[in-house]
Amino acid sequence: MHAIRVASAALLGMTALTLTAPVAVAKGDEERDRDRNITSFGFNVSPTTIAAGGRVTLSVNGCASETKVTSGVFDTVTIHKGQSTAAAAVDWDAKPGAVYEVRFQCGHESGHTDLTIATGRPDNPTHLPVHRGVKAGVGGTAGGFDLGEIGLGAALIAGSVGAAYYWSRRRAGEHGG
């Protein structure tokens, strides 16, 4: 009888755990979509690594209105409706090795990409970017969890195991066991 009680409690606990997993996976998908910058229009900065004082080409396609391009490393640029590119001059005081976000705003939708500032100046052809490694995130599906979600999951599991134990003890008492 003891093995049946333990097995039913374990089965109930695993069922509760399984039913809470789809919510965590769905939240992870939404966060990954934000990180991937999925938009209805395309955008690009070329080159993606440039020395302070250099010029970048800002490209957009599929935007039905004008596009505002902003960054902390150059003045706001407007790509007018019907055009697909514009140029921007990178500030001379941009920090070598820094990574700046470039944001493209098309109507109510926006996307962003990174612009890396290389060491050296544009008149020096030997400037090389400072390598910052791979943006890998926190890994797996654990990135979207917070303490509240973990606590709620633990409470659900503990409650289901407790209920299984209670009902198995009650049923054993009814049969004189």
CA torsion 132→136→142→147, rounded to 10°?
30
Domain-located, residue 131: no
Q: Give me 102's structure tokens.
A: 């470039």
State the Cα–Cα distance between residues 72 and 91, nearest whole angstrom.
9
Q: Are 112 and 43 in contact (CB under 8 A)?
A: no
What is the pTM (predicted TM-score) of this model?
0.50
Which of 100, 118, 136 is the C-terminal boundary of a domain? Answer: 118
Domain shared by 62 and 94, yes or no? yes
Domain shared by 59 and 114, yes or no? yes
Helix (H, G, I), strand (E, B) or coil at 9: helix
Residue 85: predicted pLDDT: 92
Domain-located, residue 79: yes
Domain shared by 56 and 106, yes or no? yes
Q: For every one of its 177 residues, what pLDDT tens digit does the chain have, with 9 covering 90 and above?
A: 566 766 676 776 677 666 665 554 444 544 544 555 688 889 999 999 999 999 999 999 998 899 999 999 999 999 998 899 999 999 998 898 899 999 999 988 999 999 999 875 555 444 545 555 556 555 555 556 678 888 888 899 999 998 888 888 776 666 555
Half-sphere CA count of 150, side-chain side, radius 13 A: 7
Domain shared by 108 and 62, yes or no? yes
Q: Give me 174's structure tokens.
A: 């009814």
Residue 165: predicted pLDDT: 86
Domain-located, residue 16: yes
Number of domains in the chain: 2
Residue 141: predicted pLDDT: 54
Residue 36: predicted pLDDT: 58
Domain shared by 27 and 53, yes or no? no
Domain shared by 53 and 90, yes or no? yes
Domain shared by 23 and 48, yes or no? no
Alpha carbon 63 to chain centroid distance? 24
Domain shared by 42 and 30, yes or no? no
Domain, as residue range, for 105: 38-118
